[in-house]
Chains A and B, each alone.
Chain A
Amino acid sequence: MVPLSYYMILSAVVFVTGLVGVLIRRNIIILLLSIELMLNATNINFVAFSYYLHDTAGQVFVFFALTVAAAEVAVGLAILIALYRGNPTVNVEEFNLLKG
């Protein structure tokens, strides 16, 4: 039997990896992939708690998190393509349209 804290530490490792990815990368696609990593880390936590607390509600929450992730990817990549059309780069430092 694997203790629950192992799952929480695994989830923390994956979440922090995604966080560091958002902080250190310039490529906007890798930034979106890092957000996926963070969402998946929370999913691992939800499923582990759902198993250990004998409550299926955690799995339903993962279902909703998945819906939101799919919506986020669709809108995020559409924004990326719209931006790329005006300024052909994926470097986040060159997107400063709203800078005063």
Chain B
Amino acid sequence: MEIFAFFFLATVIALSAILVVAFRNPVYSVISLLVMFFHVAALFVSLHAEFLAAVQIIVYAGAILVLYLFVVMLLNLKHDDSYQRQVWIGVGLGGVALAEIIYLVVTAGSASPRSLSGDKMMACAAAAASAMPQGNTEMVGRLLYTKYLFPFEVASLILLVAMIGAILLAKKEIRGE
């Protein structure tokens, strides 16, 4: 049952990712990316990361994609810019990279004695799922505010800098300066 859910979600994620790149109309691309984000959120739920699934929908689907749609419609792109000339070189290079990654993943799973796959890992994950005394959100929050407190503060600084930068870049130039 679990594996069927995984294959369904993986198929939809892969197809909608390809459609994001393949559609000529940017609005269709953004909608396709929206479908992909929802299915990635479902994948996170199946991996017991409920907090991240909610954050994925709120931040990605709710904020980032709305910003993209806003810009696409603001710029009113009538003429569709076609593909680059080197489409087949790009696709070929991508195929080679994908083959290499899959080869590495498959061989590392079978050959290395200290590999991450195998029965031990399954047992570990099963134990993790059963022995979860507190919810996922509590665990993430506790870790975020104790061990990763300094990176958390740096992240807030990044957001502040991005906000100032976006306002400064997008505003009109003030005359008489």
Mostly helix, strand, loop or mixed at chain B's interface? Answer: helix
Candidates B33, B125, B140; contact of A1 at CB < 8 Å? B125
A52 near B13 with CB under 8 A, answer no
List the B side residues contacting A97 at CB < 8 Å: none
- What class of interface size applies to chain A in its complex with B? 35 or more
B124 near A36 with CB under 8 A, answer no
B121 near A64 with CB under 8 A, answer no
A23, closest chain B residue (CB): B90
- How many A-B pairs fall under 8 Å by CB? 230
Candidates A6, A29, A47; contact of B26 at CB < 8 Å? A29
List the A side residues contacting B21 at CB < 8 Å: 17-18, 20-21, 24-25, 30, 34, 37
Which residues of B (70-106) have their CB < 8 Å from a CB of A?
Answer: 71-72, 74-75, 77, 80-84, 86-87, 89-91, 93-95, 97-98, 101-102, 105-106
New A-B contacts (12) at CB < 8 Å, excluding given A52-B121, A60-B140, A67-B158 = A1-B122, A3-B117, A8-B105, A13-B98, A19-B97, A40-B60, A44-B40, A52-B125, A63-B55, A63-B144, A66-B56, A75-B169
Give B residues with C-beta under 8 Å from A: 2-3, 6, 10, 13-14, 17-18, 20-21, 26, 29-30, 33, 36-37, 40, 43-44, 47-49, 51-52, 55-56, 59-60, 63-64, 67-68, 71-72, 74-75, 77, 80-84, 86-87, 89-91, 93-95, 97-98, 101-102, 105-106, 109, 116-117, 121-122, 124-128, 136, 139-140, 143-144, 147-148, 151, 155, 158-159, 161-163, 165-170
Give A residues with C-beta under 8 Å from B: 1-6, 8-10, 12-21, 23-27, 29-30, 32-34, 36-37, 40, 43-44, 47-54, 56-57, 59-60, 62-64, 66-75, 77-82, 84, 90-91, 93
